[in-house]
Amino acid sequence: MATTHTTALLPELSYLALGDSYTIGEAVPESGRWPVQLAQALRNEGVPLADPRIIAATGWTTDELDAVITAREPLGTHDFVSLLIGVNNQYRGRDVDEYRVQFSALLWRAIGFAGNRPERVMVLSIPDWGVTPFAVKEGRDGARIARELDAYNDTARQACAQRGVAFVDITAVSRARGAEAAMLANDGLHPSASLYTEWTRLALPVAHRLLAHA
């Protein structure tokens, strides 16, 4: 008689996503948010990552995210943590040196939420909203926005490198495709689910590598 073998289900991995409007997915359905898309894509590849617990809101700056995290503690330990924050600092004209200090503090907190495992943390770069119809309509200087965001992203990239945290650049695709109607929500500023899919495509191999031996 043939013997039937059953494969034990892998334990579900927890995911904490920290950020602002780009993480909460302003103006897109929940299924369109990039952290939700990423979790689904990883499950499709055999990595049992749960849908994320998201701590994010439209408009939050680094210090505002930090304050909300403090108010909601303890958040526990998670198998995977993502962080994307800073666009509202730039939008409000805040200094990059202030961002360096506040982002560094948030990165340490993210590592702590990952059980002090920097190899379980992933940071996404800030997309360039200067290419959007919203920025054009507001008469914003796209070149200046690009320069300032480059400085912010360089700061975040350096902090990640120093701490052994993965950094995923989604800024280039936001510049290349962020003005396309199909890649924008109805407000002409925030990404559509389709652009979030592009971010997910870039983040997926990195997240898979980080969780491959979970």
pLDDT of residue 213: 77
Is pLDDT at 95 greater than 60 in this prediction? yes
CATH number, domain at 64?
3.40.50.1110
Q: Please count the structural domains in the chain.
A: 1
Q: Which residue segment(s) compose the domain that 123 sits in?
A: 15-211
Q: Distance between CA 105 and CA 128 in Å, rounded?
A: 23
pLDDT of residue 126: 98
Instruction: For residue 33, tell me if it sits in a domain.
Output: yes
**43: Cβ contacts below 8 Å, ≥ 6 apart:** 49
Instruction: For residue 8, tell me if it sits in a domain.
Output: no
**133: Cβ contacts below 8 Å, ≥ 6 apart:** 179, 184, 188, 189
Look over the chain and give the mean of its residue pLDDT values, rounded to a whole number: 95
Instruction: For residue 3, tell me if it sits in a domain.
Output: no
Instruction: For residue 144, tell me if it sits in a domain.
Output: yes
pTM of the entire structure?
0.94
Beta strands in 63-119 (DSSP E): 80-84
Instruction: For residue 100, tell me if it sits in a domain.
Output: yes
The per-residue pLDDT for range 55-80, each reduced to its tens digit, is: 999 999 999 999 999 999 999 999 99
pLDDT of residue 31: 98
Instruction: For residue 2, tell me if it sits in a domain.
Output: no
In degrees, rounded to 5, the angle at the alpha carbon of residue 58 between the alpha carbons of residues 181 and 164 is 95
Is pLDDT at 105 greater than 70 in this prediction? yes
